[in-house]
């Protein structure tokens, strides 16, 4: 593979810049160039003035580096909703430190995360990336991670600012939000992060807010962020999320990404000439780029550093701890959990032997490894039996792990060419052995591939372990055909259908079935041409990252009814049953939202049948956002395991066998059905706009106000022990609320509880939610012991709502109730305090 990072033989250390002196010496051309990237991941260098090229890297659950394709392996963290489900800011700060260290290994100065958008609906395609439906939990989680990242000298770029809460027409949609909802729900987590962690960078959202694209929204970028909040730092666009030259520069957008520029460079110089932009305004933008260089200097990351991996036991241990702390025990009847290692266990389900370690899109990376639930559970010892039960994939599982190269290594051989297959004597310019057959080639380059049009071949050998009908699949951005022993089995070239792959520019997965014999070797070959050969029209609101892509999948064809029968018989024959079900990166990914809350076809039927066969059935669900569970009343236990990163399977097994006592709490409500969600009637673009019709009543705020029953409430989570809360005391002064309570472990094992503090105002002048989370504290308590917990909350943040008449926060005089418990639906402790005088405030 060619050099995609612009690395040099001897990386240069970043020098401290005299920003004002450099600014004086820059030419207008150099200034314009500094406000845009030079490629997908790097800023412009000005060597004569020692201005370095800085590297940026995704993302919210790990650091990919500069390559989607064949990138350096990395630590993959649990996804955003999982991180928030720990309710442990100290642990999240440690996660942030590891993210910063991982960024340094990848030579990155800026980490593009965390994602702090809100969970209006369970259907959000990138919902798994974000933290919560609640702005306080999201804000505290974001601040903890930013603080951790920035202790390493790496700068965090908090995103997407603001209201990028859906994928449908995300570059065009106008999010129409009341000022009160904007302040109390959507801006608040960013405000808390600015107050508590001062992120060094912000990334703007793709969408419009009340008629103005965020990258051109002076009111949000300048008046609120830099003015009202007093924040200092660099503002960059999301990738291809800049839509103008003078509009974006004047609004406060410092850096257009990625490069090469579409809107700056010579166009910006012309805007200077016509005084659409003043040189003073340009200097403001350039100054932030130069200051960013100084800000990341403490990271010790040199310019154009090589990309490395460092898979250590310490990293694995922290990822395993975060993963297990994030898992939520939703239900546990008749002590179905924890499992006993001396009893037989059946592992059933389509997610058992697949490691759903992260969602799709910008969050994707090449993990150091990924432990499947089957491997994690099997590793606990005891007698284990397995059955697939049914399939749940949207696209066929990647073929890479099922095939070998000509010399017997796992995976495939990828060859790149400058000429098409009709040239019989063509010679590859590059040859790579790779296991992952999901190849997104947007950032693949080679010195000899100088045109947008180029070709590739992928070859491998397949030896099935049983005679069966086998289905092969090919998905492309570009064009391609899949051959088995020289015969075309899948044609994804002659006719193409859009399918949402590769950030929504690729085809559907076209498939073909072939009968294969056990022990016989079949040669698999894909002939592919780059993205410019695609026959698909570019969809509205789609970002094309260029290059192209191909994905090769395959699986045995099964009879679902027969497989469910096998699973039922297996469940009858064992002492313990765990069903592993859920979604994966095919279902939850950047570029499109989910059409419904249902689990994949046949999953519910499988769960119902197995539960009827064994009354102690335990269901482990992996998803980043809520799914419908119509069988929840019929199973003994339900575990929400999210996407768990590298240590997915081990973390699940630790919880199932009680090696770790579950302590995760839901970071968002699980409605019974999607129609119950407050955004149900207004969650998609309608002729270019989306109305945030639920206003401030997002998630539990709505369910509490309307007394709508949910499957599992916000903040919910069980333990293998029991806790009792008592002795609530509230002290108040001009600045703070000091809430204290006792937590007693009344059960038989050590465990952790999350004390959640909600507030409500008696007799407010306008309608307010029944209760709102304002603070929390996670505490570990040994069995039979009691601990005092103290939660300190800034009073004005606890009491205030947004006054649209005054355009300020208002703290009204009156009585406020403090409600303390362990979920939004269970707040048994109650105390009150009084605010004597009404006041208004702005800023942080």
In a domain, 52, yes or no: yes
Residue 10 pLDDT: 61
3-state secondary structure 46-68: EHHHCECCCEEEECCCECCCCCC
SS3 at position 32: helix
Where is the domain boundary, 258, 278, 299?
299
The beta strand positions in 641-771, using DSSP E, are 670-671, 689-691, 710-712, 723-732, 736-745, 751-761
Same domain, 272 and 413: no
Catalytic, 238? Answer yes
Residue with tokens 């397949």: 462
Same domain, 28 and 161: yes
* Residue 591: Cβ within 10 Å count: 23
In a domain, 450, yes or no: yes
Residue among 261, 302, 305 at smallest CA distance from 285? 261
In a domain, 149, yes or no: yes
Residue with tokens 């302590």: 663
Q: What is the mean pLDDT of residues 648-658?
A: 98
Same domain, 208 and 67: yes
**Residue 155 lies in domain:** 19-299
Spell out the residues 6+ positions from residue 210 whose beta carbon is closer than 8 angstroms to its own.
Answer: 174, 175, 176, 177
Residue 828 — pLDDT band, cuts 50, 70, 90? Answer: very high
Spell out the residues 6+ positions from residue 530 whose beta carbon is closer than 8 angstroms to its own.
Answer: 441, 452, 453, 454, 455, 456, 478, 547, 548
In a domain, 526, yes or no: yes
Residue among 371, 359, 355 at smallest CA distance from 316? 371
Give φ, ψ of 228 to 5 degrees: -65, -40
Same domain, 271 and 417: no
Residue 553 pLDDT: 95
Asked whether residue 1 carries a pLDDT value surpassing 70, the answer given is: no
SS3 at position 157: strand
Residue 382 pLDDT: 82
Residue 502 — pLDDT band, cuts 50, 70, 90? Answer: confident
Specify whether the CB–CB gap between 128 and 625 falls below 8 A.
Answer: yes
SS3 at position 575: coil
Is it true that the peptide bond before 338 is cis, omega within 30 degrees of 0?
yes
Asked whether residue 6 carries a pLDDT value surpassing 60, the answer given is: no
Residue 546 pLDDT: 65
Same domain, 269 and 409: no
Asked whether residue 5 carries a pLDDT value surpassing 80, the answer given is: no
Asked whether residue 620 carries a pLDDT value surpassing 70, the answer given is: yes
Lowest mean pLDDT among 179-188, 388-397, 629-638, 767-776: 388-397
Residue 182 pLDDT: 98
Residue among 792, 252, 167 at smallest CA distance from 542? 167
3-state secondary structure 258-319: CCCCCCCCHHHHHHHHCCCCCHHHHHHHHHHHHHHHHHCHHHCCCECCCCCCCCCHHHHHHH
Where is the domain boundary, 556, 589, 604?
556
Where is the domain boundary, 278, 299, 320?
299
Percent of the chain with pLDDT over 70: 98
- Return d(Cα 289, Cα 218) in angstroms, integer: 19
Sign of CA dihedral 207, 212, 218, 222: negative
Q: What is the mean pLDDT of residues 314-333?
A: 98
Asked whether residue 706 carries a pLDDT value surpassing 50, the answer given is: yes
The pLDDT tens digits for 108-144 are 999 999 999 999 999 999 999 999 999 999 999 999 9
- Return d(Cα 753, Cα 651) in angstroms, integer: 19
In a domain, 23, yes or no: yes
Residue 7 — pLDDT band, cuts 50, 70, 90? Answer: very low
Same domain, 109 and 235: yes
In a domain, 463, yes or no: yes
Q: What is the mean pLDDT of residues 605-621?
A: 97
Q: What is the CATH number of the domain that holds 227?
A: 3.20.20.300
Label the pairing between strands 839-841 and 56-58.
Answer: unpaired
Same domain, 146 and 285: yes
In a domain, 327, yes or no: no
Q: What is the CATH number of the domain that holds 744?
A: 2.60.40.10
> Which token pair is 157?
């770029």
Specify whether the CB–CB gap between 780 and 738 falls below 8 A.
Answer: no
Asked whether residue 101 carries a pLDDT value surpassing 50, the answer given is: yes
Q: What is the CATH number of the domain that holds 535?
A: 2.60.120.260
Same domain, 103 and 228: yes
In a domain, 202, yes or no: yes
Same domain, 293 and 416: no
Q: Looking at 39, 134, 174, 238, which residue is catalytic?
A: 238
Residue with tokens 């994804």: 492
Q: What is the mean pLDDT of residues 404-429?
A: 95
Residue 479 pLDDT: 96
Is the model more confident about 122 or about 445?
Answer: 122
Label the pairing between strands 234-236 and 455-462.
Answer: unpaired
Relative orientation angle of helices 188-197 and 135-150, to the nearest 10 degrees: 30
Asked whether residue 4 carries a pLDDT value surpassing 70, the answer given is: no
Q: What is the number of domains present in the chain?
A: 3
Residue 12 pLDDT: 78
Q: What is the mean pLDDT of residues 681-703?
A: 97
Same domain, 286 and 401: no
Same domain, 119 and 259: yes
Spell out the residues 6+ positions from residue 27 whose beta carbon is closer than 8 angstroms to its own.
Answer: none
């Amino acid at each position: 593979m060619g050099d995609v990072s612009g690395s040099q033989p001897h990386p240069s250390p970043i020098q401290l810049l005299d920003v004002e002196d450099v600014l004086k010496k820059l030419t207008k051309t150099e200034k314009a160039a500094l406000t845009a990237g030079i490629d997908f991941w790097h800023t412009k260098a000005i060597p004569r003035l020692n201005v370095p090229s800085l590297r940026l890297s995704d993302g919210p659950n790990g650091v990919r580096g500069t390559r989607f394709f064949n990138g350096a392996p990395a630590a993959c963290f649990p996804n955003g909703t999982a991180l928030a489900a720990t309710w442990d800011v100290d642990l999240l700060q440690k996660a942030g430190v590891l993210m910063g260290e991982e960024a340094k290994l990848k030579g990155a100065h800026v980490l593009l995360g965390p994602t702090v958008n809100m969970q209006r609906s369970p259907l959000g395609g990138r919902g798994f990336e974000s933290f919560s439906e609640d702005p306080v939990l999201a804000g505290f989680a974001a601040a903890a991670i930013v603080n951790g990242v920035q202790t390493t000298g790496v700068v965090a770029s908090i995103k997407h600012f603001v209201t990028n809460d859906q994928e449908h027409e995300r570059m065009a949609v106008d999010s129409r939000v009341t000022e009160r909802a904007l302040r109390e729900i959507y801006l608040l987590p960013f405000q808390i992060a600015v107050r508590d962690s001062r992120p060094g960078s912000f990334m703007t959202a793709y969408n419009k807010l009340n008629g103005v694209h965020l990258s051109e929204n002076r009111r949000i970028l300048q008046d609120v962020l830099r003015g009202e909040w007093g924040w200092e730092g660099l503002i960059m666009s999301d990738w291809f999320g800049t839509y103008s030259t003078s509009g974006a520069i004047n609004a406060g957008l410092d850096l257009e990404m990625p490069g090469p520029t579409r809107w700056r460079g010579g166009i910006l110089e012309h805007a200077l000439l016509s005084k659409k932009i003043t040189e003073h305004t340009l200097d403001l933008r350039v100054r932030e780029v130069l200051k960013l260089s100084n800000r990341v200097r403490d990271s010790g990351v040199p310019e154009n550093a090589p990309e490395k991996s460092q898979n250590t036991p310490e990293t694995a241990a922290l990822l395993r701890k975060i993963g297990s702390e994030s898992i939520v025990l939703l239900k546990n009847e008749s002590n179905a959990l924890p499992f006993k290692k001396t009893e037989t266990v059946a592992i059933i389900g389509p997610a058992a032997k697949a490691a759903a370690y992260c969602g799709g899109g910008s969050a994707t990376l090449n993990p150091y490894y990924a432990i499947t639930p089957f491997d994690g559970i099997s590793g606990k010892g005891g007698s284990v039996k397995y059955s697939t039960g049914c399939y749940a994939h949207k696209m066929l599982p990647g073929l890479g792990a099922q095939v070998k190269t000509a010399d017997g290594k796992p995976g495939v051989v990828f060859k790149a060419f400058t000429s098409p297959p009709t040239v019989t004597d063509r010679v590859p310019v590059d040859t790579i052995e790779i296991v992952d057959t999901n190849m997104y080639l947007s950032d693949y380059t080679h010195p000899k591939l100088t045109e947008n049009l180029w070709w590739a071949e992928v070859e491998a050998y397949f030896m099935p372990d049983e005679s069966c009908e086998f289905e092969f699949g090919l998905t492309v951005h570009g064009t391609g055909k899949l051959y088995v022993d020289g015969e075309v089995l899948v044609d994804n070239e002659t006719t193409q259908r859009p399918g949402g792959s590769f950030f929504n520019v690729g085809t559907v997965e076209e498939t073909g079935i072939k009968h294969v014999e056990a022990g016989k070797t079949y040669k698999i070959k894909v002939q592919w041409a780059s993205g410019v050969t695609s026959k698909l029209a570019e969809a509205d609101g789609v970002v094309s990252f260029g290059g192209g892509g191909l994905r090769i999948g395959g699986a045995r064809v099964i009879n679902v009814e027969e497989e469910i029968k096998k699973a039922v018989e297996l469940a009858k024959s064992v002492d313990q049953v765990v069903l592993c079900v859920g979604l994966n990166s095919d279902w939850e990914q950047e570029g499109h939202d989910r059409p419904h809350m249902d689990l994949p076809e046949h999953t519910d039927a499988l769960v119902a049948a197995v539960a009827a066969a064994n009354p102690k059935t335990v269901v482990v669900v992996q998803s980043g956002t809520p799914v419908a569970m119509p069988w929840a009343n019929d199973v003994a236990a339900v575990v929400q395991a999210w996407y768990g990163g590298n240590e997915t399977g081990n973390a699940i097994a630790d919880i199932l066998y009680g090696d770790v006592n579950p302590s995760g709490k839901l970071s968002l409500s699980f409605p019974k059905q999607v129609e119950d969600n407050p955004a149900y009637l207004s969650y998609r673009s309608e002729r270019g706009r989306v109305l945030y019709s639920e206003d401030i009543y997002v998630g539990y705020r709505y369910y509490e106000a309307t007394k709508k029953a949910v499957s599992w409430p916000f903040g919910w989570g069980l333990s293998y022990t029991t806790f009792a809360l008592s002795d609530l005391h509230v002290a108040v002064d001009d600045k703070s609320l000091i809430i204290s309570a006792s937590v007693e472990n009344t059960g038989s094992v050590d465990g952790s509880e999350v004390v959640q503090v909600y507030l409500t105002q008696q007799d407010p002048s306008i309608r307010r939610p029944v209760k709102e989370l304002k603070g929390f504290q996670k505490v570990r308590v040994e069995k039979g012991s009691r601990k005092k917990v103290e939660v300190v909350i800034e009073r004005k943040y606890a009491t205030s709502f947004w006054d649209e008449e005054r355009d300020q926060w208002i703290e009204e005089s009156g009585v406020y109730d403090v409600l303390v418990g362990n979920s939004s639906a269970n707040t048994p402790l109650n105390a009150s305090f009084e605010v004597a005088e009404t006041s208004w405030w702005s800023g942080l």
